[in-house]
Amino acid sequence: AKQRLPPGPRPTPILGNITGIDARNPWKTYTKWAAEYGDIIYTQLLGQDIIVLSSERVARDLLDRRSHNYSSRPASLIPINELFGTEFSSIFLPYGDRWRLHRRLFHQAFNMNAASSFRPIQMETAHDLMMNLFMTPDDFPAHVQALSIATIMAIVYDYKASSRHDPVVAYVEKTIEIAMQEVRPEVAAVIGAFPFLKYLPPWFPGASFKRNALISQECCAKWVDAPFQHVKRNMAGGTAAQSMVSDILTRIQDTARTEGDAAYMEKTAKEASASAYAAASETTFSTLSTFILAMVLYPEAQKRAQAEIDSVIGSNLTRLPVWEDRSSLPYIDAIIKETMRWHPVAPLGIPHATVDDDVYEGYYIPKGATILVNAWAMSRDPANYPRPDEFLPERFLTSEYGTNGETPSFAFGFGRRVCVGRYVADASLWAAIVSMLAIFHFEPAPGCDLGPEGENVVWTEGVTTHPKFPCKITPRHEGLTHERLLQLVQMST
């Protein structure tokens, strides 16, 4: 008997459901469909099977409990990654030995215990952020981005990125900017279905993605190599500090049996470290931008967080928050969780794919199907998160709002593909957020109406999304000088 696919909107011939999708916010279309057809729906884009999971329950059942079958990445993303030069990226590797080796390198560097060794770096970049915000508060997006980049560059390569116009950073940022726009299922489906598009000359009208691809390929080659060579040079000269790459290179020297082995491991290390950068910088930046927006729109939450910090470090700023304060600041943890819940950085996650055919609750799920995690829909589920559009950190502190207090599972993804950098990410966010709240007050920029619930805020489009808005940032403590802030920073290191 013909197997029954999950329900969904009826596809039109050839194009499938592509014409019905809001290209700017595809997660909103999928969420609307989920309301109509349920937690698990089937759609088609140009002949490709797409299954969208819209509840945490279904995502856990399939991606966690059947992770052996749901941990690949869509084959349709391979051509587009090759086109853009990002084929090596751990994030997009299909399930298999190559991906497993990447994952092992990450696990050694970023597991819960290992991740804590990066705390001094994270606090130092948080302090740099405070100093920058103090001097030029209106440039806050650039400062937050600088923090996100500097943190991961230091952790992975012990590379000190200069805060402006760093050449290595410029390559990576360009590649990521392009990849965020183009390496997503809706674009991949078009190129997969019409492979000749790949061969259009870059000057061809409408072939902007091809021009982008050439730029991306060039930037990628430099991004993967330049910082890696920096570590090797420092190791050879005996000046390398600890980093993910120096640790791996030391292990290769100690364990590789043949030269071939060593060369393969080194190539893998290069690819994995470059991927860590891509995965970490944009996501950290987006989360912190969303946090600042929440503080502007929800002054009560901001006030409560600051009162909590003051109750621990004192209200006259005799010292800055330090790691040991974390356990006394539960509301700050709740703010971090609620930021990731309120506007998930990757509203459709990173697509998974099935290895084999499967059947779930009577529905047929084909081999090779793209599995989209609709984090947006999960974040808006009123059963788990009452008043879902509101920023309410309290929901992670009391059962009144229904959560179990844990970070929402959709924030960092599922199964064997769950974010390998989640402990690093959590610590970077904490250091930055607690430092910002200790020193600054965030309010709407004068004359700028964001709307009571932020309706007028513009969010960027792509795999990840962040808000763009102006904001007024002022020191909370009257008479705080640059010199005094510097003194406080020096006292706590």
What's phi and psi for 327, nearest 5 deg? -70, -15
CB of 377 to ligand HEM, least distance (A): 14
Pattern of binders to ligand HEM over 417-436, x per CB under 6 A?
Answer: xxxxx--xx-----------
**Are the C-beta atoms of 464 and 319 separated by less than 8 Å?**
no
CA distances from 481 to 3, 133, 336 (A): 70, 13, 28
CB of 275 to ligand HEM, least distance (A): 5
Pairing of the two strands 370-373 and 48-53:
parallel
Please tell me the distance from the alpha carbon of residue 489 to that of residue 113, in angstroms, as a whole number. Answer: 26
Using CB under 6 A, which of 6, 9, 227, 413 touches ligand HEM?
A: 413
Taking CB atoms, the residue at the shortest distance from ligand HEM is: 421
- CB count within 10 Å of CB 95 equals 20
Q: How many Å apart are CA 360 and CA 356, to the nearest integer?
A: 13
CB of 126 to ligand HEM, least distance (A): 14
- Give the integer Cα–Cα distance in Å for 393 and 332: 9
Note whether 50 and 74 are within 8 A (CB). Answer: no
Piece of 5-13, 123-131, 157-165, 411-419 that binds ligand HEM (CB under 6 A): 411-419
Nearer to ligand HEM, 107 or 319 (CB): 107
Closest CA to 132 of 144, 150, 149, 148: 144
User: Rule CB under 6 A: which of 350-369 touch ligand HEM?
Assistant: 350, 352
Judged by beta carbon, residue 127 or residue 417, the one nearer ligand HEM is 417
Burial class (CB in 10 A: 0-12, 13-18, 19+), 124: middle
Applying CB under 6 A, which of residues 34, 332, 346, 427 lies at the interface with ligand HEM?
346
Q: Residue 189 and residue 230: Cα distance in Å, rounded?
A: 38
Question: Residue 352: how many CA atoms within 13 Å on its side-chain side?
Answer: 30
In this chain, which of 32, 98, 103, 326 binds ligand HEM, going by CB under 6 A? 103
The minimum distance between CB 318 and ligand HEM, in angstroms, equals: 31
Name the β-bridge partners of 471: 444
The residue among 413 and 467 lying less far from ligand HEM, judged by its C-beta, is: 413
If one asks whether residue 88 binds ligand HEM (CB under 6 A), the answer comes out as no
- Residue 340 CB, nearest approach to ligand HEM (Å): 6
Q: Is 359 helix (H, G, I), strand (E, B) or coil?
A: strand
Burial class (CB in 10 A: 0-12, 13-18, 19+), 185: buried
121 near ligand HEM (CB under 6 A): no
Q: Does residue 349 bind ligand HEM (CB under 6 A)? A: yes
The region of 40-48, 259-267, 416-424, 438-446 touching ligand HEM under the rule CB under 6 A is: 416-424
Residue 372 lies near ligand HEM (rule: CB under 6 A): no
Instruction: Tell me if 339 contacts ligand HEM by CB under 6 A.
Output: no
The CB-of-225 to ligand HEM minimum distance in angstroms stands at 19
Cα dihedral 334→335→339→341 (10° resolution): 20
345 touches ligand HEM (CB under 6 A) = yes
Distance CA 135, CA 489 (A): 15
Q: What is the largest CA-CA distance in the chain?
A: 77
CA distances from 141 to 231, 432, 451 (A): 29, 13, 20
Asked if 54 touches ligand HEM (CB under 6 A), the answer is: no
CB of 299 to ligand HEM, least distance (A): 24
Among 62, 91, 305, 348, indicate the residue that binds ligand HEM (CB under 6 A). 91
Question: Under a CB-based contact definition with an 8 Å cutoff, are residues 76 and 189 in contact?
Answer: yes
Using rule CB under 6 A, residue 213 touches ligand HEM = no
Q: What's the min distance (Å) between Cβ of 316 and ligand HEM?
A: 32
- Does the protein bind ligand HEM through residue 175 (CB under 6 A)? no
Site residues (CB under 6 A) for ligand HEM, limited to 437-456: none
Beta pairing, strands 363-365 & 467-468: unpaired
For residue 481, the minimal CB distance to ligand HEM (Å) is: 33
How many whole angstroms separate alpha carbon 255 and alpha carbon 157?
21
How far the first Cα of the chain sits from its last, in Å, is: 69
| Residues 275-304: x where in contact with ligand HEM by CB under 6 A, - otherwise, as a string | xx--xx--xx--x-----------------
Find the shortest distance in angstroms from Cβ 287 to ligand HEM. Answer: 4
Taking the complex as a whole, how short is the minimal distance between the CB of residue 206 and ligand HEM, in angstroms? 31
Q: Give the binding range for ligand HEM (CB under 6 A) out of 18-26, 124-132, 272-280, 468-476.
A: 272-280
Residues interacting with ligand HEM, by CB under 6 A? 90-91, 103, 106, 110, 275-276, 279-280, 283-284, 287, 345-346, 349-350, 352, 411-414, 417-421, 424-425
